[in-house]
Amino acid sequence: MGQLRLSGVTKSFGTAQVIQPTDLEIEDGEFVVFVGPSGCGKSTMLRMIAGLEEITSGTVEIDGKVVNDLAPVKRGISMVFQSYALYPHMSVYENIAFPLRVAKTPQAKVDELVGRAAKVLKLENRLQHRPGALSGGQRQRVAIGRAIVREPSVFLFDEPLSNLDAALRAEMRVELSRLHSQLGNSMIYVTHDQVEAMTMADKIVVLRDGLIEQVGSPLELYHRPANRFVAGFIGTPN
Ligand code: ADP
Ligand code: MG
214-223 CB burial, b ≥16 within 10 A, e <16:
bbbebeebbe
Residue 238 has a pLDDT of 46
Query: 210: alpha, beta or left, given left = phi > 0 and alpha = psi -120 to 50?
Result: left
pTM: 0.90
| Residue with CA at minimum distance from ligand 1 atom 16 | 39
Residue 107 neighbours by CB under 8 Å, 6+ apart: none
Enter the DSSP assignment of 227: S
Question: How many angstroms separate the alpha carbon of residue 14 from the centre of ligand 1?
Answer: 12
Helices 92-102 and 136-148 sit at what angle, rounded to 10 degrees?
A: 20
Residue 18: CB within 6 Å of ligand 1? yes
Residues linked to residue 41 through DSSP beta bridges, in sequence order = none
- Does residue 82 contact residue 159 with C-beta atoms inside 8 Å? yes
Question: How many angstroms separate the alpha carbon of residue 158 from the centre of ligand 2?
Answer: 7
Question: How many angstroms separate the alpha carbon of residue 128 from the centre of ligand 2?
Answer: 33
Q: Say how many Å lie between the first and final Cα of the chain, rounded.
A: 39
Residue 192 has a pLDDT of 85
Residue 236 has a pLDDT of 62
- Does residue 148 contact residue 187 with C-beta atoms inside 8 Å? no
| Residue with CA at minimum distance from ligand 1 atom 23 | 13
Counting from 1 in the atom list of ligand 1, the atom nearest the Cα of 41 is 6
Residue 16's CB is within 10 A of a number of other CB atoms, namely 8
Residues having C-beta closer than 5 Å to ion ligand 2: 43
Residue 145 neighbours by CB under 8 Å, 6+ apart: 92, 95, 96, 114, 117, 118, 121, 123
Question: How many angstroms separate the alpha carbon of residue 41 from the centre of ligand 1?
Answer: 6
Residue 73 has a pLDDT of 84
Residue 193 has a pLDDT of 85
Run of H or E residues at 54: none
What is the value of ipTM here, to two decimals?
Answer: 0.98
Q: What is the chain's pLDDT, residue by residue, as a tens digit (238 residues)?
A: 789 999 999 999 999 999 999 999 999 999 999 999 999 999 999 999 999 999 999 999 999 999 999 998 889 898 887 777 899 999 999 999 999 999 999 999 999 999 999 988 889 999 999 999 998 888 988 998 998 898 888 999 999 888 778 887 888 888 888 888 888 889 999 998 888 899 899 999 999 999 999 999 999 999 999 999 999 888 765 4
Residue 8: CB within 6 Å of ligand 1? no
Rg (CA), the chain: 18
Query: 29: alpha, beta or left, given left = phi > 0 and alpha = psi -120 to 50?
Result: left
